[in-house]
Each structure stands twice: as C-alpha cells, then as structure tokens.
Amino acid sequence: MHETFVMDSPIYKLKIHIEQNCVAKVEFNSDEPVSLPATDLGKKLQQQLNDYFRSPANSFAVPVLPQGTDFQARVWLALTDIPPGKVLTYGELAEKLGSSARAVGNACRRNPIPLIVPCHRIVAKSGIGGFAGDTDGRLIDIKLRLLEHEGFGLKLG
C-alpha cells in the first residue's frame, strides 16, 4: 500500500509518503496542491501534525519506516528522545552515541521523516547548524520556525 498526500501547515506545505502502512517520508513542498489522506494512517498522521502545530507538546504516535543504516537508525531513535523546546548539539548527541559530530550531522541530513523524527532539534555548537543538508535558505528558515514554534529562541551571531 502506498499513499501520498500534501497538507498545509503553518510552517510549509508537507508532502507525506506512506508505505507498508508506515510513514516513510515527509517533505517540505510548496508546489503541489493540497490533497486529503485516504487511509486511516494518513488521517491519523494529519490529525497529529495539526495537533503538533497547535501545541508542540503534542507528540507523534504513528508507525514509521525510516530506511537507512543501523547507525542512522540509532541517531534517528535518539532524536525522538529530545523533547520540544530543547536542543542538543551535534557533538552532545555524538557523545551519547559514542560517535562523531560529523557522523551525527550526516545521519540527520539523511533523515527521511523530519518533524516526526525531530532532526531540527540538533544544532551546531555556535549556531543553527544545517537542516536536511542545507546551511542557508528555505530549509534553514523552516528549521528556525520549527524551533521558534517549540519555544526555543536561538540567537545567532
């Protein structure tokens, strides 16, 4: 079973991919028209995303299918333990995992399920860091807006 739908959010349009009755990918997308989810899982995720955008204290309880290496899976699992409004640096998470900051950054870059697996809560020691492989532009703006939504004010400079 495969489903794709596009929903509006206060941050950006989200394109959701569901495979094997699990959330497989979340993309920030502005070009496609909004469409409604057809499956129960799609409807549940849409409701949970709407709840999150009403209050970041709302969590996600949907099955996910992140496809990556064992190390990436360890990083992505660790990301889900970071509560809204809190951040860790790449180095802090690397220390917890017995790895390097660069390896953690690379795993975050390849996270196919942002928001649900909150890679936006990982920042550089001296600023915002990257988001989905970008270090400036639209994706960094999205990361900043997500952190602001969660109540974390990041001062750059």
Q: Active-site residue numbers?
A: 119
Report residue 20 as tokens: 């094997």
H/E/C letters for each residue in 1-58?
CEEEEEECCCCCCEEEEEECCEEEEEEECCCCCCCCCCCHHHHHHHHHHHHHHHCCCC
Rounded CA separation 124/90 (Å) = 6
How far is residue 109's CA from residue 131's CA, in Å, rounded to a whole number? 7
> Would you give the DSSP letter of residue 121?
G
